[in-house]
Chain A
Amino acid sequence: DAKTTQPTSMDCAEGRAANLPCNHSTISGNEYVYWYRQIHSQGPQYIIHGLKNNETNEMASLIITEDRKSSTLILPHATLRDTAVYYCIVINQGGSEKLVFGKGMKLTVNP
């Protein structure tokens, strides 16, 4: 019973912004949205997380809708090295719940 829905794949041109959508219509009030990515032949890498406010760090921005039912990860200037599988994960901040990586979305950045 997946908590999130992502497109299977997406293409983006190098240098352009990549907007990666995620639906989480059943998210509860104490659940956060986490994003990870996995570059080919590497382990997953944490990108960013948020609760309800928009967040930005050196890697990306996270925009969460006001109703919190969806979010968008933005890579402002995609590079070829951003080609990866991106995972959107909804999870309680505390407690013993463990990360569940779904199938994710394959982003291909084209030259």
Chain B
Amino acid sequence: DVKVTQSSRYLVKRTGEKVFLECVQDMDHENMFWYRQDPGLGLRLIYFSYDVKMKEKGDIPEGYSVSREKKERFSLILESASTNQTSMYLCASLGILPHEQFFGPGTRLTVL
């Protein structure tokens, strides 16, 4: 079974802090994604990566950056956290089927 893990289920940070959200997949998948999910807005794509050191902006990249130094790990970085970044963050990796994404359990981030 594919396993996608995220470093924390719950995280509380203060405004202005630098925040790292880590995601690891164990199936040697090339493509990985970061989404955020907010009530009434559904899942929105922040960034994705199709290979090590490669990244592309999704629909809402502002305020975020990413890092993919190793194939199995995709990190989302909030350079200076703000209250409007309070959200559920979901990481996914893409399997063999064109749009079969495997999601992690999510990190609920609260920025105070």
Contact = CB atoms under 8 A, between A and B. Distances in A.
Interface in A45-74: 45-46, 49
Contacts of A102: 42
A102 B44 CA distance: 10
B103 A91 contact: no
Given A93-B98, A98-B58, A42 B106 contact: yes
A98 B45 contact: yes
Given A42-B106, A44-B103, A98-B45, A49 B90 contact: no
B92 A43 contact: yes
- Interface size grouping (class) on chain B: 20 to 34
27 contacts: A32-B98, A32-B99, A41-B105, A42-B103, A42-B105, A43-B90, A43-B91, A43-B92, A43-B104, A43-B106, A44-B43, A44-B90, A44-B92, A44-B101, A45-B103, A46-B95, A49-B99, A94-B98, A98-B45, A98-B48, A98-B58, A99-B99, A99-B101, A101-B43, A103-B40, A103-B42, A104-B42
Interface of B: 4, 33, 40, 42-43, 45, 48, 58, 90-92, 95, 97-106
